Structure 1
Amino acid sequence: MNRLLDRLDVPAPLLWIDADDYCERLLANGRAPWTDAAAWLAWQRKGQGLLRSDVVALPVARVIDAWLAAQPTVRSTMGLKNRLLLPLRTLLANEALRVHLVEMIGGLRSSQASTPVVLVLPSPRAWVAIAYRQAFADEPEPEVGADDADSAAVYIADFLRAFGEAGLDGVLLVESAETVPASDDDLSCYGAVFNLAAHYRWACGIELPKTGDFDASALDFVISDEPQTGARRHGHRIAWQSETARAVHFSFITVPADGEPEQVLERLRRLRESA
């Protein structure tokens, strides 16, 4: 069975807390140890012990930002040829990066035996643009078409195979405002990722900055401000100022980086009581 889907399908909604920026300031002097798996796990355990999110997650994009800063040769290799998909393909094929991320997920799984563990990564369409900007910072924003997103999904699916035995419960694809699927065909470009998640029995979801004109029934869950058409499970993204959690399946909230500890704990307590 899948820990995440099991938890989403019980009557009591869960609370998924994104507190990386907050914990970075509070517990890491503004510099979370993304490139040191052991130090990151110790930091993450402190944050989880304090805030008690019902889901624990590894934000791959944050790790890669720190990884590229520490490994400038990787960034240089990504930009050897000015081709749209080459930066992402080169990045995801980096074996040292894969080993590092798998170690982080393995440590997270070991330390959180009963809590769902999710890998959070940019959607295929979003990741093409992100990797291209990382390789070619001075180039204009790239246009990512359907064929590009489809190819990127294949690269990402190959990358995700490295996590097959790591104990993952789910994968969350994060869209930017510019990459929200505009049709069912747009979403179908991610099929390679969906198929791999199904193979490993991972829950597969998507986070939307706004609702899109597509049917989300191919996904296990959607995180958004408002329900997405066809979504089987909705994670309601609630504002930090909100006093209540009104989601049917779960609530998703981001703790502000400058939050005051006592106020943060009180706000989370109220949200749990209102669920």
Structure 2
Amino acid sequence: MSQSLADLLPVEGGKVGLRLWLKASAYTRRLLLGESGDPWESASKYLAYFSQAQGLLKPDVAVIEVGELFDAWLQRNPAAKAELTAKRKLSFPLRKLLEQTAPRELLAEIVEAVVAHLRGQAPVVLAMPSPRFWLHLANRAVDREVELDDDNIEDAAMYVADLVRSVSSLPVGGILFEEAPGDVLPGPVNAELYRPMVNVAKHYRWPLALRLGGGALSEAPALADIDVFIGADGLPVAGSAHGVDISASLWTQDAAPLAQNQFYFVEIPRDAQPEQVLERLARLRS
């Protein structure tokens, strides 16, 4: 396998080289670290956890949950919340959070350690909430109830783009944005507001993936610049590969066969039983 997600995506109607993408951090943290375990305290601690999780599940894509890293840092540094609320602007909490030096440095150390550990066996993808969703989460973290608007979502995309530039010297294999699940954020998603991040991904030749949530996806020019779409249904025709999200149905029924440009995407529930997880994943791989 390659260090870039791009090498697993189909070219000119070919078959996708990826079969199974897992989102398993909640499950593996509970299983390997216990109820309150925190792998984000240092790069060495994260690598120890990561290597165990990789060995347990053997995913096709190595995912680093960037949003969780910043959440964990904020939980360990609650005094920082005062800095995040110093201004009333809607995008300010996210901006100040993503500007923090310590979690940025930790992210770079973790990416470097994971890449060295994998030695090209799997692409390293940075997963994070979409700018729209992260804007919502950052305000909720400081107890603000807000209504999002286009200008602030675009500002959020600029702050996220600045964050990922900080690891541009490292062999990142791709970026995954995840939209809000269910009805957390009603209304359609306008990916054109993510243009600052889309442009950065194109500049560094990072494949960009978007996992759809509960909201519909509006037609937008930016869709043509997104390489992978992931969802249970309603995926756009754009994108060179589609991830079929079977997270909800996998545990009660067999998955349908894949089309040539499709792969399975599974989010493993935090409290899933290990025997059932391994049995179901084995079926998907067979």
Q: TM-score, normalised by structure 2?
A: 0.87
More deviation in 143-152 or 212-221?
212-221
> Residue 3 of structure 1 contacts residue 114 of structure 1 at CA under 8 Å; is this kept in 2?
no
**Are positions 1:71 and 2:77 aligned together?**
yes
> How much does 1:63 deviate?
1.4
SS in 1 for 2:96: helix
| Partner AA of 1:244 in structure 2 | A
- 1:236 equivalent to 2:244? Answer yes
Matches within 5 A, 1:74-85: 74-85=80-91
Does 1:129 find its partner at 2:133? Answer: no
Greater CA drift, 169-178 or 40-49: 169-178
Give the corresponding residue for 2:219: 214
Give the superposition deviation at 1:26: 1.4
Distance 1:12 1:122, change over 3 A: closer
Deviation at 1:230, TM superposition (A): 2.8
Q: Which residue of 2 aligns with 1:197?
A: 201
User: 1:232-258 CA deviation, whole Å, 9 max, x = no partner?
Assistant: 221010133242253432111012222
Q: CA deviation at 1:133?
A: 1.5
When residues 254 and 217 of structure 1 are mapped into structure 2, their CA distance, relative to the original with a 3 A threshold, is: same
Distance (Å, rounded) in 2 between the aligned partners of 1:63 and 1:179: 22
Q: Any conservation in 1 of the 2:19–2:263 contact (CA below 8 Å)?
A: yes
Q: Which whole-Å CA distance do the structure 1 matches of 2:97 and 2:273 have between them?
A: 37
* 1:171 counterpart SS class: strand
Provide the rounded CA distance (Å) in 1 between the counterparts of 2:231 and 2:96: 31
Q: Post-superposition shift, 1:227?
A: 4.3
The unaligned stretches of length 5 or more in structure 2 are none
Kept in 2: contact 1:78–1:86 (CA 8 A): yes
Q: Is 1:246 matched up with 2:257?
A: yes
Contact persistence 2:131–2:157 (CA under 8 A) = yes
The offset of 1:181, in angstroms, is 7.2
Q: 1:114 to 1:13 in 2, by over 3 A?
A: closer
Which residue pairs with 1:154 in the alignment?
158
**Cα distance, 1:22 vs structure 2:** 1.5
Q: Displacement of 1:13 after TM fit?
A: 4.1
> Could you tell me how far apart the structure 1 residues matched to 2:202 and 2:177 are?
14
Question: Which segment is superposed worse, 238-247 or 120-129?
Answer: 238-247
Give 1:258's aligned residue. Answer: 271
1:269 counterpart residue number: 282
Q: Residues of 2 paired with 1:7 and 1:261: CA distance? A: 28
CA contact (8 A) 2:91 2:152 kept: yes
Deviations 1:45-87 (A, max 9, x none): 1011111000011111211111111112322210122321111
* Identity value in percent: 34
Equivalent residue letter for 1:237: D
Cα distance in 1 between the residues matched to 2:141 and 2:282: 39
Letter aligned with residue 41 of structure 1 = L
CA shift for structure 1 position 11 = 4.7
**Which residue is equivalent to 2:179?**
175
Structure 1 counterpart of 2:131, which letter? P
Is the 8 Å Cα contact of residues 3 and 121 (structure 2) preserved in structure 1? Answer: no
Cross-structure match for 1:26: 31
| Residue 107 of structure 1 pairs with residue 107 of structure 2 | no
C-alpha spacing 1:14/1:67, structure 2 compared with 1 (3 Å): same
Q: Partner of 2:127 in structure 1?
A: 120
Distance 2:62 2:170 in 1: 14
Q: CA deviation at 1:162?
A: 0.4
Q: Deviations over 1:161-220 (max 9, x none)?
A: 10101211111111114557736xx22111000000011110011111244232532210
Secondary structure of the corresponding residue to residue 251 of structure 1: strand
